[in-house]
Amino acid sequence: MGGNLDTGVYIYMYMLSRNLIGETLNEIY
């Protein structure tokens, strides 16, 4: 259970950070 939870949080944080990076690049370019 703990491993699956950590994986879910990792994926969530990855998607969130990727979205923020995408918005930042859109503002720069």
Give residue 26's pLDDT: 86
- pLDDT tops 60 at residue 1: no
- pLDDT tops 60 at residue 29: yes
pTM of the model: 0.56
Give CA–CA dist 8/16, Å, rounded: 12
- Provide the number of structural domains found in the chain: 1
Element (H, E) at 23: helix 2-28
Length of the chain: 29
Share of the chain above pLDDT 90, in %: 52
Sign of the alpha-carbon torsion through 18, 24, 26, 29 = negative
Domain limits for position 17: 1-29
Reported as a single tens digit per residue, the pLDDT across 7-27 is 999 999 999 999 999 999 888
